[in-house]
Amino acid sequence: MTLTYDDLLATITDPGGREILDPATGDLVGRAPFRSVETLDEAITRAKAAQPAWAGRTDDQRKEMLLAAADAIDAAAEPLAELLSREQGKPLNGPNARFEVGACTNWLRATAETDLPDLTLIDDGETHAELHYRPLGVVGAIGPWNWPMMITVWQIAPALRMGNTTVVKPSEYTPLSVLALAHVLNTALPQDVLTVVAGDGELGARLAGHPDIAKLMFTGSTRTGQAIIKSSADTVKRLTLELGGNDAGIVLPDVDPKAIAQDLFWGAFINTGQTCAALKRLYVHTDVYDDVCSALTDVTSAMPMGRGLDENNVLGPLQNKAQYDIVSRLVDAARDSGARILTGGDPDSEGPGYFYPATLVADIDSDNPLVVEEQFGPALPIIRVESIDEAVELANALDVGLGSSVWSADADAARAVAARIQAGTVWINSHGGVHPMIPFGGVKMSGYGLEFGVEGLKSVSAPQVING
């Protein structure tokens, strides 16, 4: 039987729950069952009780169940994408809702097929030592509202793969998407191996401090990450923190502006700019500055924005009013400072929804708030630089370092610049692309710990050396 959108929504909503509204229209999407701290504690207790049996399954059995869970998502892909579009706002097409649901299955399959074998460290006839990776127990996950389904899978797939059970607290802005995802996944998983408990921020604080949560994975703001570190201290909890980005891009003078304009656009405006590792400040060498601005303006002004369920749109609204206000404030401040608005910057205040047009801001000072604060929306400042040394200095000047990019016709020159940038990932002639086998994580105030691939499996495991 095919799962319909209405069927999916009916399984996760609560008539007395919190109203969740469509950020494009203001219409009711559904009512989320917001739970108490006591309910969360009960879920952790059940997850702890279920963990030994889950860990006791063979590695091949856990792989098979993750692959079955991926198949279940594929079978429910369209209703999941529709719910995601309605709740988060992102369009169905482009690198958006259908793309995100597809990424969930890709990550599940890649994680299931990644091995972390035991390692013989030394065996010289006198000493024999082996390194093994054991389950931690119960892994907690706190996800964001920008990519709620995909990032939840990033968190839970490796944890489940390594024999942990998981308890997820989704963002209060997008709980329905994660509840629906878990409902589908749980058709292929044993009971209490994966539990989602929706609620307010107090649930996140409880996860961070709960003594039975062995590891916490968090994606979100640096400020919340700092609070999690403090809350986790008493239990010496392991953490993976993927925090704020404000990623820099550097354009060298040898580029063909028209050739890179489309990739620059998507680097900055994927998910309407609501991505931690999106391009958020662009430093362009003066020799190509005007041409880059012109080419990027042509691409940006042609991209359709509107309600996500319209198949023609590739940009949607900001997910919530608070984020809309941040973007509006920063663009207005840039305009007031004398910066030049190339396109956008003029939202329609009369229409419904949190739509802010894709905005390019040129001739802006490097210390302008739009540059130094993470706007997390569809507004890109373009800063003129006189030299590559100046660009590198400005890129490294902030206290964040999630991702960055270098744009050049000369790959060797680009790599030489990349090596000087303080960021967890530096892309060459692209920005923000991730792969399930390539480790991903930040430096400085952008957090610590690695996700994806073998390193991601290690991060949700306890290394044990057997010596003798």
- Residue 90 confidence (pLDDT): 98
Catalytic residue among 100, 276, 293, 451: 276
As a whole number, mean pLDDT of residues 138-146 equals 98
b/e string for 198-209 if b means 16 or more Cβ within 10 A? bbeeebbbbbbb
Radius of gyration (C-alpha) of the chain in whole angstroms: 23
Q: Please name the residue that has the structure tokens 């000369």.
A: 410
Phi and psi angles of residue 288, each rounded to the nearest 5 degrees, phi first: -120, 10
- pLDDT bin (cut points 50, 70, 90) of residue 1 is low
Beta strands 425-428; 379-385: pairing state: unpaired
What structural domains and CATH numbers belong to the chain?
A: 5-243+446-467 (3.40.605.10), 247-428 (3.40.309.10)
pLDDT digits (tens, 9 = 90+) for 12-24: 999 999 999 999 9
First to last CA, the chain: 55
pLDDT digits (tens, 9 = 90+) for 159-212: 999 999 999 999 999 999 999 999 999 999 999 999 999 999 999 999 999 999
Orientation of helix 148-161 relative to helix 77-88, angle to 10°: 130
- pLDDT bin (cut points 50, 70, 90) of residue 350 is confident
- Residue 173 confidence (pLDDT): 98
As a whole number, mean pLDDT of residues 401-409 equals 98
Q: Please name the residue that has the structure tokens 């010289």.
A: 124
d(CA 349, CA 386): 38
Could you tell me the two tokens for 97?
A: 């809702």
Residues in Cβ contact with 447 at an 8 Å cutoff, skipping those fewer than 6 apart = 222, 225, 240, 241, 242, 243, 402, 441
What percentage of the chain reaches a pLDDT higher than 90? Answer: 98
pLDDT digits (tens, 9 = 90+) for 70-116: 999 999 999 999 999 999 999 999 999 999 999 999 999 999 999 99
The SS3 of residue 305 is strand
- Please report, as a single letter, which amino acid is at residue 173: Y
Could you tell me the two tokens for 219?
A: 């994606």
**Rounded to two decimals, what is the model's pTM?**
0.96
Q: Are the C-beta atoms of 30 and 13 separated by less than 8 Å? A: yes
Could you tell me the two tokens for 314?
A: 């590739």
- Please report, as a single letter, which amino acid is at residue 130: E
Q: Please name the residue that has the structure tokens 């994606």.
A: 219
Could you tell me the two tokens for 322?
A: 């608070």
- Residue 121 confidence (pLDDT): 96
Catalytic residue among 242, 293, 374, 451: 242
Say whether 276 is catalytic.
yes
Q: Are the C-beta atoms of 136 and 460 separated by less than 8 Å? A: yes
pLDDT at 28 over 80: yes
Say whether 242 is catalytic.
yes
